[in-house]
Amino acid sequence: MEIQELTTLVKQDITALNSAVVDIQLLCNSRNGSSIMPSDTTTQFFDDLKNRLMSATKEFKEVLTMRTEVNNNFVHQQPSAAKPTVSTSASPALAWASGAQSSSHPFSK
């Protein structure tokens, strides 16, 4: 799978998790219909879930930013790197590969 596809999937998962936390919180609040305010424990629980999700989202964005910077640096450095040139003449070490007989070949008789 490509990085961009994985990024899209993670973003979708984060959005789905965020929606699920809100939905569960609303469900819990509606079940506690007799009390106007949810309990401190329930509020603390959902605040903790939201903070963890926000923290994971922030870390994900930082990793994406770092990956993008590294990738951009790699792409920008690529053209400036000198590419090795291929010689058309056979070097002595590769003379045997072209079918030429050479006395320097280690397996020659």
* Mean per-residue pLDDT, 76-81: 64
* Residues 33, 42 contacting (CB under 8 angstroms): no
pLDDT score of 51 more than 90 = yes
pLDDT at 17: 93
Alpha helices in 1-101, H assignment, sequence order: 3-31, 40-77
User: Domain extents for the chain?
Assistant: 12-77
DSSP state of 106: T
pTM of the complete model beyond 0.75: no
Q: What is the pLDDT of residues 31-42, one digit of tens each?
A: 776 555 667 888
pLDDT at 74: 83
pLDDT at 76: 80
* Residues 96, 105 contacting (CB under 8 angstroms): yes
User: How does 76-90 read in b/e, with b if 16+ C-beta sit within 10 Å?
Assistant: eeeeeeeeeeeeeee
Measured at the CA of 87, the angle between CA 82 and CA 88, to 5 degrees, comes to 145
Highest mean pLDDT, choosing among 17-21, 67-71, 78-82 = 17-21
pLDDT at 54: 94
More confidently predicted of 89 and 18? 18
